[in-house]
Structure 1
Amino acid sequence: MKFWSVGVIGLVGVAAIVGSVYVSPGALLALAVVVALAVGIGWPHYLGIPAKKTLAAVIGLPGAGSAVAAYYVPAPGFLNWTPAFIALGVMAIFVVQLIRGTGQAQRLESTLGCCVGVLLSCLGAGWIAGARFNGVKEMLLVAGVSAAVALLAGLIQWPDRIVAPLGVILAGLAGPLAGVVFSDIAVLPAAVFGVVVGAVLVSFRRLVTLRGGPINFLAALSMGLGPVSAVGSLAYFIDKLLIY
């Protein structure tokens, strides 16, 4: 698959998550678990490392556990268990590498890269935390609009030096616009959120283009949904710090 397919997968993921927010909390939980598992399954394929099935499990399962915890934990500590699941996943990765033994291929790349995968998988719990935080669904809608604009900018097949600032600027403008149209969120927090989301998503675009050449579907799935997962926690913390 070509690199632009990653952006399309990301757009579908954003639309599905924001839509599930308006359906029911249970639908959002189910989708968050699916996204976490998808990131886990595809991340080893993107890295091109051995032991893909085992590492997929230790990346995806902590993310699923983090999402379930964010759904059931009492307020206000929605993400209190997320660091524990991240630590559990990282420890599991080190255990897997120890079992593989000394001298195995790509041990360092596998360890470092999979730790990043665990982080991305677990950060998806932020979508659930944001939905539960103050019941204002519009904030997540603003998050989705900003992310979608940044992903759409990333589909443009121009050099990264042009697309990167363009994506950040457009996302920074889309945030306040969405805030004005869909809610009463102040312009400044919405703009800050848009800029941060844009920066994160165009950074992931760079990771895809650095890979060079086509990638398989599982790798594209993980790279498309990984940054979308991270946006959930960004929305939650910006909501707490700047808006609530």
Structure 2
Amino acid sequence: MAVTGFYGTRFLALGISALIAVAAFGWPRLLRVYRRKVSTVIIAASGALSVVAVGLGRGEPYLRYAVAAAAGAVLLSLSAELFFPSPPGRAVTSVTGMMSGAFVAVSAGAWVAANRTPGAADLVVAGAAAIAVAGVAAAFTRRPTVNGIIALVLGTATGAGLGHLFDSISWAGGALVGIVGAASVVTVTELATREPAPRHALAAIASGITPVLAAGVLVYLSGRLLVG
């Protein structure tokens, strides 16, 4: 993420699309959706539509173009249940599972929107780097509380350090993006510990990718607050 963001919006969009494609295969298993192949197509299509719409949209705020992808995700999820019904008693679970996965994929378009915002490209790099560091720190020890504290501290420090290096943002702005990104990692990691361990590798990968994709909205909002 940090590397693709450094090379520009096009490479960032390709990197985000690759993460969405990989995660789309694991989310149905992670969310225990009945029609896995259908769910994979819906999640991948929703995320791709969001990235393309935000990447090609004209005029700020760029994130507004993701609204069409969100609406499409809802319609596709409901239509899938009509044409590919789940067993009795699992319809609501399947629809909500597909929608939640699709919305996370749609929210990933916010990374592209943030990168396209004038003056906010460095925030994307700082946020992605902070998330990467926090993700590693979240597995330092066997004590979740200690890991969470370490992840927040190192994520904030990473953002602040990059903010000090970049001319377009201050160290305080970098620290804000860093702690926001680290908080998303810590939150999702804590929620994951309350669920049974994924039995499939793709489900585990999707669980790890989720905070990266979802944090795009937080980085975008931080960019709007700091850059305007």
Q: Which residue in the other structure is 2:180 paired with?
A: 196
How far the C-alpha of 1:21 sits from its partner, in A, is 2.5
Determine if the alignment matches structure 1 residue 90 to structure 2 residue 89: no
| Cα deviation code 1:206-237 (max 9, x no counterpart) | 23322333532211222222221122222122
The AA in structure 1 aligned to 2:217 is S
Give the match's secondary structure for 2:140: coil
More relative contact order in 1 or in 2 (CA 8 Å, sep 6+)? 1
Q: Which residue in the other structure is 1:57 paired with?
A: 41
Kept in 2, the 8 Å contact 1:172–1:195? The answer is: yes
Distance 1:67 1:184, change over 3 A: closer
Alignment gaps of 5+ in structure 1: 1-16
- CA distance in structure 1 between the partners assigned to 2:144 and 2:43 by the alignment: 29
Distance 1:54 1:66, change over 3 A: same
How far the C-alpha of 1:67 sits from its partner, in A, is 0.3
- CA distance in structure 2 between the partners assigned to 1:102 and 1:208 by the alignment: 25
- Aligned-residue identity in percent: 23
Give the match's secondary structure for 2:63: coil
Distance 1:42 1:213, change over 3 A: closer
How far the C-alpha of 1:53 sits from its partner, in A, is 0.3
For residues 62-81 of structure 1, the aligned pairs below 5 Å read 62-81=46-65
Range 216-225 or range 104-113, more displaced = 104-113
The AA in structure 2 aligned to 1:191 is A
How far the C-alpha of 1:150 sits from its partner, in A, is 1.1
- CA distance in structure 1 between the partners assigned to 2:48 and 2:59 by the alignment: 19
| Cα deviation code 1:15-53 (max 9, x no counterpart) | xx2212333433222222222222222100112221000
The AA in structure 2 aligned to 1:55 is S
Kept in 2, the 8 Å contact 1:176–1:190? The answer is: yes
| Cα deviation code 1:98-139 (max 9, x no counterpart) | 334475353333222322211110111122112211155322
Range 121-130 or range 108-117, more displaced = 108-117
Q: Which residue in the other structure is 1:153 paired with?
A: 137
Range 50-59 or range 80-89, more displaced = 80-89
Match of 1:174 among 143, 154, 158: 158
Q: Which residue in the other structure is 2:192 paired with?
A: 208
Q: TM-score, normalised by structure 2?
A: 0.88
